[in-house]
């Protein structure tokens, strides 16, 4: 997931940061009933901002609602769900007439299907991101001004520093580490840079964090003494989490979010997955799909509460979540609502004939090494073709193991065959990226019917 890139000018809104910061701190201690009015006021501002977008004016008219009648979460049900395709097709019609006033800058979401969605990020959105991160990291002991490291590739690409390992930014007290250049023969330099800068917090996408941990373990290198790691942007499966935490002897706090800021879920130190109800308005809409162990999956539908230049109402973000019984409480005592787990992108899902939705196929090459690339193609509801780019160690035994492991994940109802291909034998999307899953089976989607708002 692309992230909001902070620069010094983002800290030029001290009043807005302090005000939102106070509210966000209060919400860690007070039940949502105590700040319901605060959130309804944010929602009314969002709806008013939507009234300044051509797309939404048309949609309100089509639904027969006036913006002044959309005041609470429940009122929003009068609008249809907003699909990603509509945002893509709508383009500038979703931008508010006064977007410039909010210092909006365009950003693009990537999406594994490779169709970027243009999106405006404004100063309210940047303030939100800053305040939210400070709150989440604060739960692990991080205080503003402390040093941290971040594994990232775009930072180096944009600056023409493609092969450089590390870049220290003293003004942000941030050590950037190049996730795209990380290899077996230079992992030592990454760990040494973190030790030299006395880094205690490390942030990154789940997979580069995992590779750093794996390489450090494999080479038996000394790791810096971290207080916590923060993973974002990808589905962090338990097996990967365990290996990262073992390698660094520190907790990973995961978080789920998207550039559009229409949904946000964070992990607390007690392991609870809390919904950021003050960041966005979340709605969990039933789908017809289940997890491999049979629990129902809900689509995450979100409404932005802070962005004023491109507000999104009832946006089907394309991710799935497994819920907990209503009223579930966390050991940490933070009253923000809980979910059981985020199940990742529907775009990376394989749907089996018995209705399971499997989103963790990307772990197969972790468990059975020896492939340089992999792609899962479901060109028939009953058949999954695995295309692998084999290395020399991928012998017949490994191949059987690979198929058996994938079969365990998808269950017995899907027939699996494996094809060995050259590196260019994997199908690319329009941006050149190789999607993990290509499927003709309809994706898990929100279906009409009762939805549940996270309080």
In the complex, minimum distance from the CB of residue 439 to Zn ion, in angstroms, rounded to a whole number: 35
Give whichever of 131 and 268 is closer to Zn ion, judged by the CB atom: 268
What's the token pair of residue 196? 């030299």
In the complex, minimum distance from the CB of residue 331 to Zn ion, in angstroms, rounded to a whole number: 6
Give whichever of 330 and 416 is closer to Zn ion, judged by the CB atom: 330
Give whichever of 243 and 340 is closer to Zn ion, judged by the CB atom: 340
C-alpha to C-alpha distances, 412 to 90, 114, 254, nearest whole angstrom: 42, 31, 31
Other Cβ atoms closer than 10 A to 210: 24
CA torsion through residues 67, 72, 74, 76, sign: positive
Compute the distance between CA of residue 201 and CA of residue 24 in angstroms, rounded to an integer.
22
Give whichever of 272 and 311 is closer to Zn ion, judged by the CB atom: 272
Question: In the structure, how many helices (H) and strands (E) does the chain have?
Answer: 11, 21
The phi-psi region of residue 149 (left if phi > 0; otherwise alpha if psi is between -120 and 50; otherwise beta) is beta
Give whichever of 236 and 334 is closer to Zn ion, judged by the CB atom: 334
Compute the distance between CA of residue 429 and CA of residue 323 in angstroms, rounded to an integer.
32
Give whichever of 224 and 272 is closer to Zn ion, judged by the CB atom: 272
Other Cβ atoms closer than 10 A to 180: 14
In the complex, minimum distance from the CB of residue 273 to Zn ion, in angstroms, rounded to a whole number: 8
In the complex, minimum distance from the CB of residue 133 to Zn ion, in angstroms, rounded to a whole number: 17
Give whichever of 34 and 270 is closer to Zn ion, judged by the CB atom: 270
Compute the distance between CA of residue 356 and CA of residue 291 in angstroms, rounded to an integer.
5
Compute the distance between CA of residue 91 and CA of residue 227 in angstroms, rounded to an integer.
42
In the complex, minimum distance from the CB of residue 330 to Zn ion, in angstroms, rounded to a whole number: 3
> Can you point out the beta strands (E) in 153-239?
166-169, 174-178, 201-205, 228-232
**Residue ranges that bind Zn ion, judged by CB under 5 A:** 268, 270, 272, 330, 332, 334
Edge-to-edge strand list for the sheet holding 371-380: 415-420, 383-390, 371-380, 437-439
Give whichever of 351 and 454 is closer to Zn ion, judged by the CB atom: 454
In the complex, minimum distance from the CB of residue 309 to Zn ion, in angstroms, rounded to a whole number: 33
Residues 6+ apart with CB under 8 A from 20: 127, 128, 131
Residue 386, SS3 per DSSP: strand
Give whichever of 247 and 275 is closer to Zn ion, judged by the CB atom: 275
In the complex, minimum distance from the CB of residue 324 to Zn ion, in angstroms, rounded to a whole number: 12
Give whichever of 101 and 331 is closer to Zn ion, judged by the CB atom: 331
Which has the closest alpha carbon to 110: 3, 220, 222? Answer: 3
In the complex, minimum distance from the CB of residue 267 to Zn ion, in angstroms, rounded to a whole number: 8
In the complex, minimum distance from the CB of residue 271 to Zn ion, in angstroms, rounded to a whole number: 7
Mutual orientation of helices 206-218 and 238-248 as an angle, nearest 10°?
50
Give whichever of 180 and 332 is closer to Zn ion, judged by the CB atom: 332
In the complex, minimum distance from the CB of residue 44 to Zn ion, in angstroms, rounded to a whole number: 29
In the complex, minimum distance from the CB of residue 28 to Zn ion, in angstroms, rounded to a whole number: 10
Compute the distance between CA of residue 42 and CA of residue 36 in angstroms, rounded to an integer.
10
In the complex, minimum distance from the CB of residue 275 to Zn ion, in angstroms, rounded to a whole number: 11
**Which phi and psi angles does 389 have, rounded to 5°?**
-100, 105
What's the token pair of residue 167? 């870049």
> Can you point out the beta strands (E) in 330-436?
338-345, 350-351, 357-358, 371-380, 383-390, 415-420
Compute the distance between CA of residue 441 and CA of residue 4 in angstroms, rounded to an integer.
33
Give whichever of 181 and 332 is closer to Zn ion, judged by the CB atom: 332
């Amino acid at each position: 997931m692309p992230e909001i890139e902070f620069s010094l000018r983002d800290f030029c809104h001290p009043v807005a940061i302090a005000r939102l910061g106070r509210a966000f701190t209060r919400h860690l201690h007070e039940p949502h009933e105590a700040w319901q009015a605060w959130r309804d006021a944010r929602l009314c501002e969002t709806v008013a901002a939507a009234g300044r977008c051509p797309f939404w004016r048309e949609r309100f008219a089509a639904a027969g609602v006036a913006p002044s009648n959309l005041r609470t979460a429940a009122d929003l049900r009068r609008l249809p769900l907003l699909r990603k395709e509509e945002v893509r097709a709508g383009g500038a019609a979703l931008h508010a007439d006064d977007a410039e006033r909010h210092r909006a800058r365009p950003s693009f979401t990537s999406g594994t299907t490779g169709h970027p969605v243009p999106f405006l990020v404004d100063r309210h959105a940047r303030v939100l991101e800053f305040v939210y991160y400070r709150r989440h990291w604060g739960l692990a002991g991080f205080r503003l001004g402390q040093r941290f490291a971040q594994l990232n590739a775009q930072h180096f690409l944009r600056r023409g520093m493609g092969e450089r390992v590390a870049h220290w930014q003293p003004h942000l007290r941030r050590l950037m580490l190049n996730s795209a250049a990380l290899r077996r023969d230079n992992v030592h330099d990454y760990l040494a840079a973190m030790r030299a800068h006395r880094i205690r917090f490390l942030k990154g996408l789940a997979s580069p964090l995992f590779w750093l941990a794996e390489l450090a373990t494999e080479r038996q290198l000394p790791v810096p003494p971290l207080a916590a790691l923060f993973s974002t942007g990808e589905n962090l499966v338990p097996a990967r989490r365990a290996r990262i935490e073992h390698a660094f002897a520190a907790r990973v706090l995961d978080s789920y979010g998207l550039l559009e800021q229409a949904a946000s879920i964070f992990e607390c130190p007690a392991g609870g997955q809390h919904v950021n109800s003050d960041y966005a308005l979340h709605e969990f809409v039933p789908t017809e799909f289940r997890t491999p162990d049979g629990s129902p999956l809900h689509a995450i539908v979100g409404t932005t509460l802070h962005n004023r230049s491109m507000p999104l109402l009832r946006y089907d973000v394309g991710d799935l979540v497994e819920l907990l019984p209503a009223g579930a409480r966390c050991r940490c005592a933070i009253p923000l609502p809980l979910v059981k787990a985020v199940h990742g992108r529907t775009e990376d899902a394989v749907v089996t004939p018995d209705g399971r939705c499997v989103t963790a196929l990307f772990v197969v090459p972790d468990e059975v090494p020896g492939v340089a690339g992999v792609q899962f193609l479901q060109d028939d509801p009953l058949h999954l073709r695995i295309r692998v780019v084999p290395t020399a160690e991928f012998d017949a035994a490994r191949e059987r193991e690979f198929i058996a492991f994938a079969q365990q994940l998808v269950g017995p109802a899907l027939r699996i065959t494996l094809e060995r291909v050259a590196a260019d034998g994997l199908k690319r999307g329009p941006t050149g990226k190789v999607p993990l899953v290509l499927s003709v089976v309809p994706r898990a989607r929100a279906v009409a019917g009762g939805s549940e708002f996270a309080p």
